[in-house]
Structure 1
Amino acid sequence: MIDFKLLLNQINPFSSRHETSGNHDQEEFKLPNLPSLVIMISMNLLLQVSFFIVVSSSNKYAEYLGGNATFSGIVIGIPTAFSGLSLIPLTKYDRGMYRMPLHVSCCFAILGHIAYALAYRSNFLYLILIGRCLNGVAFSMFMYCKRYCTDPRIVGIRRRTTLASWLVICQGMGMTLGPFLGGVMYNIGFSNPIFNGYTSLGWIMAGIYAGFWVLVAKYFEDIPQPPTIIESQSASDSNALILSSDVKGGDREASSGYRSASATRPASPVDESFRAQLSLITLSQWGVIACMCWFAMLCFFILGSWEANLPVFGAAAENFHWSPFAAGNFIALGGITCFPFLLFNLLAARRTQDRKLLAFGTVLGLAGLIIFISILRTGKVNYGSLFACWWSVALGFNLATTVTLSLLSKQLPPEWNGRTSMAIQYSNYTGRVTGAIWGGSGVSVGMLNFVGLEIAMVGIGAVLFTTLWRDLKTKTG
C-alpha cells in the first residue's frame, strides 16, 4: 500500500531551510488537508476510469443496438459537452467550495452508469447516450479537481505543478485501467441479459461510486474560508489590493487612471474589483492565457481522438481485426508503459520550468504523429510501429497537460483561479468532445486526413509557445 503522504513529502520535502525562512516560504509550500486531498485525487482517478472504460467496447455496443462508429465516437465524447453545461449552475451555487460538487458528481455518476447498463435490456440505442450525458454532469468534477490543486487558499505556488502531476498520473491510470477493464468485461461476456459484456462495466462502476460516496460524506473536509475575499470587500479594499500588488509602474499608473475616470459612475464592489483585476492583466498575460487554453484543448483533442479511433481502426485494418478486448489491451499497454515516466514527472516538476515541460511533451507527441503519418503513407503499419506512435502520443500530450492550469495560477492574481480553472476546463471539454467524434470518424474521413489535422493543430500551438516563450517563465514546483 503506497503511503501517499510519505511519497508526496519525498517529492517536495520541507527542509529545515524552508521551516526557518519565514511565513512567505511556508505559504509557497503549503498543502491542503491530506484526507481531503486524497479524496479529490481519487475522485479524479474514478472519473478518468469512467470516461475511458467504454472506449474499447462502445463501438460494438452501439452496433448491437443499431448505431455506427461515428455514433460510438459521440457516445465517448458527448459527456464533456454536458459537463460544460452543468458547470454553469454548479459554479453559481458552489460558493467557491467543493463538497456540494462532490456529492453531485457521485450521484450522477451512479445514475449514468446504471442507465448505460440498462440500454441492453431495453434495446434502446439512445439510452447509452443518455447514460453518458448523466455521466457528463459527474465529469464536471474534473474542473473542481484542477481548481482544488491550484487553489491559492490551500495550495502554495511551489506545490501546484506537483499536484497537477498527480492529476496527470490519474489521467494515465484511467487511460490504462478503463479500456483494459472494459475489454476484460467484454471478453468474459456473462450471458445474463442484465449483467453481460456490454453492461457489467456500468454496474461495477455504479457500485464503486456508491462506496466512494460514503467515504466522501465521512472524511472530506471543505475549505472553511469564504468563497472569495474580493467579492466581500468594498471598493476601497480593492483599491488597496491594487496598490499592494506587485505590478510595473506603468501598469499601476494605468490602473490608477482607470479608477479616476470611472469614479464618477456608481458601480458595485464586485464590478469595481473585477475591473481593477482586469486592469492588472497585461497584454503578454492575455497571450499566455490564450496559449494555455489552446494547449488544453489540443492535448485532449488528440488524446481523445486516438482513444476513440484505435478500436475502430484496429477492427477495420486487414492485419489487425481487433476485438474490443484486443483494442482495450492495446490502449492499456500504452498507458502502462507511460506510467513510469509520469511518475518521474513528479520529480521533474520540482525543478523544471513549466514551459520546458510543455515544450518537451509537445515535441514528443508531435514525433508520434509524424511517424504515424509516415507509416500510413508507406503502408507499413504493424503492431509494433502503431504502438510506438501511440506511446509517443499518449506520453507526450499527457505530460503537456500537466502545466496548462498550474502555469496560469502562478502568473495571474489569486482571485483569477476560479476563472482560469473554468477557461482551461472548457478548453479540455472542447478537445475531448470534438476529439472523440473526430476519432470515431477517422477511418471514414481517411487516416491521412485524420493525422494531418492533428499535426496542423500542433503547429499552431508551436507558434504560440515559441512566440510567448519568455512570457511563459514561472516558478518551479
Structure 2
Amino acid sequence: MVGFGKQLRTLKNPKWEPYYINYKMMKQTLKSYLQNQGVNEEEKAIIRRQFTKLLDWQIEKIVLFLLEQQGHLAARLTALGEQREIVMNSRDSSQISACVDYYQAVGRDLLKLLEFVELNAMGIEKILKKFDKRAAYKLTDYYVASRSNHPYSQLQQVFRHVGIGAMIGAISRSLGELKDETKSLYDEPAGFHVEDPIIHSIKAAQSRLTNSTSFVKFMAKAVQFDKEDELPRAADDVVGEQYHLISLLLNLGNTFLYMVNTYIIVPSADKYAYSLGAAPTLCGVIIGSMAVAQLGSSIYFSAWSNKSYFRPLIFSSIVLFVGNVLYALAYDLDSIAILLVGRLFCGLGSARAVNRRYISDWVPIKNRLQASAGFVSASALGMAVGPALAGLFEINKRVLGVTLNANTLPGWVMAAAWLVYLVILWMGFKEPINDDTGNNGPPTFASTANWHPQNHAITQALLEEGTDSNSISHEDPVIDDDEDSEKSKAPASSLIEAYKLLTMPVKVQLFIYFMLKYAMEILLSESSVVTAYYFNWSTQAVALFLALLGLTVLPVNFLVGSYISNMFEDRQILFTAEVLTCLGTAVCFVGPIPYTAAQYISGALIMFVSAEVLEGVNLSLLSKVMSARLARGTYNNGLLSTEAGTLARVVADGTITLAGYLGTGFLVNTTLIPTLLFGILSLIATFYSYNFLF
C-alpha cells in the first residue's frame, strides 16, 4: 500500500519542492506530540496550539507561493492579451496559431498550479484527519471553523482557489475568440466550454479541487452509505463479480412500492376511519401506525442485512402483503382494530435499511452514485404515484363477498402489487456471496495482503492512507505505528453507544431532520381532513394535490444539486430552507380573514418544497459530520437518520389525532404551532452550530 507521503513525493513538481506541505515533518511532529500528550485540558490545549501554529505556517507558505505563481501567470496573460488584439487585427493565420500555442502553454502551467493546490489541500485534510484519529480529542472542527471564516483566512485560498477561476476564464475566452472570432464566451450558454484539450484538462482539475456537487452526487447523499475516504471497501473486483443489475432493480423496486404503500392511503384515510365509526382525525393514527412499527423494524432489518439481503426482502414482501390484505378486509369486518393491525404489519415490512445496505455493500464504486440517486428517485416517484393511484379508485362494487371502493382498493391494489413483486423477487434476485468466506453477507474490509487500489489517480491518495499502516516506504523512515485501536474503529454495538458518538453538529442535523419530517407529515397526513372541511375537496382532488406536491421532488433536487449547491455553501442553503419552511408554515395558519384554497396551496407548496430542499442539504451535511464509526454496522448513520425521521412521523400523526379532539376547525392551527416551534428551534440550533457545518 502506498501511503499519502509517498504519493506526495511521486506526484509533486520537483521545482516547487520547498513550497509543498511538509507532510513527513508534520507526521513526525504529530507522533512526538502524541507520545507526550497528557490527560488534562491544559496539556491538550498546549498541543493543539503548537500543532495548529505549525499547520498555519505550512498553509501560509503554500498560499504565498500560490499567490506569487498566480501573479506570474496573470502578468503573462496581460502581455498575451495585448498581443492577441494585434494578432486578431492582422488576421495572419500563422500568428494566430502561435498565439493559441502561447495561451495553451499558460494553460499547462495553470494546470500544474491546480495540481499543486489539489495535492496540498489533500495533505492539509489528511494531516487533520490523522490528528483526529490518533489524539484523544478532535482538532478538525475547531481548526476549520476558526480559520475558514476569518477575514484574513489563508485556508480559503487553498480550498476556494480564489483568483484561479478568473485566469481560467481569460484563457477560455481568448482561445475561443482566436479560434472563432465571431463567437464570444459570454454569449454562449452557462455550461459552454471552449473545445480545447488544455481547457478540458483544466476544467477537470478544477472540478476535482472544488468537489462540486452534481445532481447525482447530491441525490446520493440521502442513502448515507459508507464514507469511502475513511472505510474503503475491500476488493472492489469481488463486488464487481457479484454485482447483479436485476437484483439492484428489484431492490429499488422494493423502495418504490413501499413509498407508494405509505402514501396511497393518505387521500382516503379520513373517510375510511369515518366509515368505521371513528372520527376523521383518526387518520393520523392510521397513517402513523405504519411509522410506529417502522421504528422497530428498521433495527432488525439493519441487523439482518449484515448477513443477507434476499431473505429480509422476501420477509418484507410477505408481511406487506398480509398487512394490506388486513387493511382492505377491515371495511367488510367493520373493525378499526384490524385496520390498524394491517398498517402496523405494513410498518413491520419496511426494508429501507436493507435497500440502503445493498447499495453500499454490493454495488461497485463506479456505479454506486447512480444507484443511490436511483434510490432517492424511486422514493420520490413512489411519493407521487401513491396519491395519484388513490385518485383513480372511484368504483363501489362487491366481488366474491369483498367490497371494492375508494377505502379498500388501496389495500387490495398494494396486496396484489406485493404478491407480484414477491414472485419476481423469488425468481430474479441473486443473493451475493463473498468468495473469501463462502457465506452470504457484505464483503469484509481490506487487509494489507489483498488490497490493491489503483495508484495512478491523485484522488486515491486520501482513500489509501490509513488503510495499510504497516507498509513502509524506503524513502520515508517514519513508521506509522500509531494506528487506531480495534475498539476505536469498531462500529457502534447499540443505539446508546451510537448516541454517545454523536457530536453537537450531528445532533443539530438530526434534530433538523426530525423537524422537516414532522412538518412534511403534518402537511400530508392532515391534508384530506383540512381540504374537505374548508374547501369541500373530493378524494380525487386531494389525490391530485398530493401527487403534484410529490412530483416537485425531482425537479427541486435537480435545481439544488446542479446549480444552487454550486453557488452557495450547504450551510447557507440549509439556513435559508429552514427560514422558508417556517414561512410556509406561517402562511398555512388560519387567521381572522376567510381561509382560501389559494392561501393553503401556496403555504403548503412553500413548506413542502423548502422541506425537500432542506432534506437533501441536511443529509449532505450529516454525511460530512458523522463519525466514521457510524458508517457501518447495524447502528449506522443511515439507521439513525431513518429513526429520527420515523419518530418525527409518529409524533406528527399523534399530534393530528390529539388535535382532532378539539374539533376540525382547530386542527390546522393546533398542529402548525408545534411545527413552527420546531422550525424556530432548528434555526436557533443552526445559528449556534453554523461555524461547524462544512
- The answer to whether the superposition gives a TM-score over 0.5 is yes
For the residue of structure 2 that corresponds to 1:377, the secondary structure is coil
Instruction: Kindly indicate whether structure 1 or structure 2 has the higher relative contact order, using CA contacts under 8 Å at least 6 residues apart.
Output: 1
Relative to structure 1, the CA distance from residue 349 to residue 138 in structure 2 (aligned partners, 3 Å threshold; closer, same or farther) is: farther
| 1:345 shift after superposition | 4.3
User: Which position in structure 2 is the counterpart of 1:202?
Assistant: 411
Aligned twin of 2:685? 464
Q: Taking structure 1 as reference, are residues 434 and 206 closer, same or farther at Cα in structure 2, changes over 3 Å only?
A: same
Partners of 1:52 and 1:179 within 8 A in 2: yes
Is structure 2 residue 599 aligned with structure 1 residue 365?
Answer: no
Determine the structure 2 residue equivalent to 1:397: 611
CA offsets 1:395-420 (integer angstroms, 9 cap, x no match): 12123222444544444326633421
Q: How many residues align?
A: 419
Instruction: Report the Cα offset of residue 365 of structure 1.
Output: 2.1
**From 502, 509, 520, the counterpart of 1:303:** 520
CA contact (8 A) 2:281 2:529 kept: no
Highest Rg: 1 or 2? 2
Counterpart position of 1:387: 601
1:43-192 matches, within 5 Å, as 43-95=254-306, 97-139=308-350, 141-149=351-359, 151=360, 154=363, 166-185=374-393, 187-192=394-399
Q: How does 1:231-310 map to 2 (within 5 A)?
A: 273=490, 286-310=503-527
Deviation at 1:220, TM superposition (A): 3.4
Give, in angstroms, the shift of residue 110 of structure 1: 0.8
Find the counterpart in structure 1 of residue 675 from structure 2: 454
1:197 partner letter: A
- Partner of 1:194, secondary structure, is strand
Q: C-alpha displacement at 1:343, in angstroms?
A: 4.0
Identical amino acids, percent of aligned pairs:
21
Contact 1:164 1:402 in 2 (8 A): no
Give the Cα–Cα distance (whole angstroms) in 1 for the partners of residues 502 and 299 of structure 2: 25
Q: Which digits, 9 at most, give the CA deviation of each residue in 1:247-280, with x for residues without a partner?
A: xxxxxxxxx7997xxxxxxxxx67984589x9xx
**1:367-418 deviations in whole A, cap 9, x for unaligned?**
2112223xx2242421222111111122121232224445444443266334
1:80 & 1:258 partners in 2: Cα distance? Answer: 38
Matched, 1:438 2:655: yes
Q: Under a length normalisation based on structure 1, what TM-score does the superposition of the two structures give?
A: 0.75
Q: Distance in 2 between matches of 1:283 and 1:471?
A: 18
Residue aligned with 2:404, SS:
coil
CA distance in 1, matches of 2:275, 2:327: 14
Q: Distance in 2 between matches of 1:322 and 1:466?
A: 40
Q: Is there any run of 5+ residues in structure 1 with no aligned partner, and where?
A: 1-14, 234-239, 246-255, 260-268
Q: CA-atom RMSD, angstroms?
A: 4.1
Partner residue in 1 for 2:549: 334
Aligned letter for 2:587?
I
Is the CA contact 2:390–2:543 (under 8 Å) kept in the aligned structure 1?
Answer: yes
Distance 1:282 1:127 in 2: 36
Q: Provide the residue aligned with 2:183 in structure 1.
A: none
Alignment partners' CA distance in 1, 2:573 and 2:318: 36
Distance 1:362 1:38, change over 3 A: farther
Mapped contact 2:630–2:637 kept (Cα < 8 A):
no
Provide the secondary structure at the position in 2 that maps to 1:184. coil
Q: Does the aligned pair in 2 maintain the 1:314–1:327 contact within 8 Å?
A: yes
CA distance in 1, matches of 2:445, 2:412: 44
Q: What does residue range 207-246 of structure 1 map to in structure 2 within 5 Å?
A: 207-225=416-434, 226-227=441-442, 229=444
Alignment partner, residue 265 of structure 1: none
When residues 332 and 153 of structure 1 are mapped into structure 2, their CA distance, relative to the original with a 3 A threshold, is: closer
Task: Give the whole-Å Cα distance in 2 for the aligned partners of 1:215 and 1:379.
Answer: 55
Q: Bigger shift: 283-292 or 460-469?
A: 283-292
Bigger mean CA deviation after superposition, 205-214 or 96-105 = 96-105
Contact 2:447 2:468 in 1 (8 A): no
Q: Which amino acid aligns with 2:416?
A: G
SS at match of 1:67: coil
Corresponding residue for residue 313 of structure 1: 530
Find the aligned partners of 1:86 and 1:145 in 2 and give their Cα distance: 13
Deviation of the 1:311 alpha carbon:
0.9
Is contact 2:298-2:352 (8 Å) kept?
Answer: no
Q: Return the letter of the residue paired with 2:395.
A: I
Query: How far 1:121 moved relative to its partner?
Result: 1.7
Alignment deviations for residues 145-165 of structure 1 (CA, whole Å, 9 cap, x no partner): 34445x3774759965x7665
Distance 1:43 1:272 in 2: 32
Give 1:465 shift.
Answer: 2.5
CA distance in 1, matches of 2:673, 2:680: 11
- Of the structure 1 ranges 360-369 and 437-446, higher mean CA displacement relative to structure 2 is found in 437-446
